[in-house]
Amino acid sequence: MKTLNDLWKSGREFLNVELPIMCGAMTWISESGLVSHVSNAGAFGCLAGGNMEPDLLNQEIEKTKNLTKKPFAVNLITIAPNYKKQLDLVTETEVPYIIFAGGIPKAADIQKAKSSGAKVLCFASTESIAKRMIDRGADALMLEGSEAGGHIGHVSLIILLQQILFEFQNFPIFVAGGIGTGRILPHLLLMGAFGVQLGTLFVLSEECNVNLKFKQAFIRARARDAISTPQLGSELHVVAVRALRNQGMDQFADLQLRLIQSRRRGQISQEEAQFEVERYWVGALRRAAMDGDIENGSLMAGQSVGLVKEIKPLKHLLSDLVMDAEKELKRIQKILI
């Protein structure tokens, strides 16, 4: 009979880890400390580039390399103002894995990343984007459903599994969005996933260096409390963000209105407006995650927040995921016998 190790063997080999469980890149949260703890525990850490200045990102990369000898990735947001400088940096520092997020990377950017020796993962929110990323040279895809926290697409994971995962069975694909328990893992692996990415659950690890109030807000929250931001019109090309509803979420709607009005009056360019949007989220997330302002800051969380209710040491968090996955796999096998 198949074991869990059999099911995620390809994912382990692709990421060169014991557990093909990725900790998603969360700005201010997925820093060198958490990333190295995750990788040292046998899973796969992803350093969040966010909109960090290159010098600061370089420091975080070096810190991570000093704290772990295990593989990790650097996540780059293609719509961030510092994106191009960050891409230059990660290719020069020979990061082992590069993840493109936030938008569709150009073929030249993917090739530039690959030429540094890095393996490249790209997000795909539609079948056509998946094909495009593969044609442009991506080594693997990430399917992230709209259930996820932070910047999200518009399609749920259950649809992406059917549209993309089932159509590209021989290509490395990792999945994310709404994953909060180990029981779901064997089902996703049996569908063909190489591994999974979680974010919200890792916030509740003891090693995650965020304000306790931030973690407590997650513990109190229900799945329906994690809502997607509204987009006022299409002028700003705003990428939706999923977070817990609070005053900060309401303030974002007001910000969009002000930016739209300023743009129509010719007081601000499209690029400047987009920068203001990203600057708002970066600052708002910091206020909540680092300073504990859970009313006015941004509580970025996926709908899996309704499944996570306890702060645990990272090694226990991972062992619980694996144990529950193994139990579920045995349950499935009994049904099929």
Q: What is the pLDDT of residue 233?
A: 67
- Domains of the chain with bracketed CATH: 4-210+308-336 (3.20.20.70), 212-303 (no CATH)
What distance in Å separates the CA atoms of residue 260 and residue 273, rounded to the nearest whole number?
Answer: 8
pLDDT in tens, 209-231: 999 999 999 999 999 999 998 77
The whole-model pTM stands at: 0.93
What distance in Å separates the CA atoms of residue 200 and residue 311, rounded to the nearest whole number?
Answer: 12
What distance in Å separates the CA atoms of residue 206 and residue 203, rounded to the nearest whole number?
Answer: 8
Q: What is the pLDDT of residue 240?
A: 81
What distance in Å separates the CA atoms of residue 130 and residue 142, rounded to the nearest whole number?
Answer: 9
Q: What is the pLDDT of residue 264?
A: 86
Specify the pairing of strand 119-123 against strand 97-101.
Answer: parallel
Residue 229 burial (CB count, 10 A): 20
pLDDT in tens, 308-319: 999 999 999 999
Q: What is the pLDDT of residue 193?
A: 98
Sign of the torsion formed by the C-alpha atoms of 115, 118, 121 and 122:
negative
Q: What residues in the chain have per-residue pLDDT under 50?
A: none
CA nearest to 96, candidates 113, 71, 114:
71
List the alpha helices (DSSP H) in the chain.
Answer: 4-7, 9-15, 32-40, 54-67, 83-92, 107-115, 127-135, 157-160, 185-191, 200-203, 212-220, 247-264, 270-289, 314-336
Q: What is the pLDDT of residue 21?
A: 98
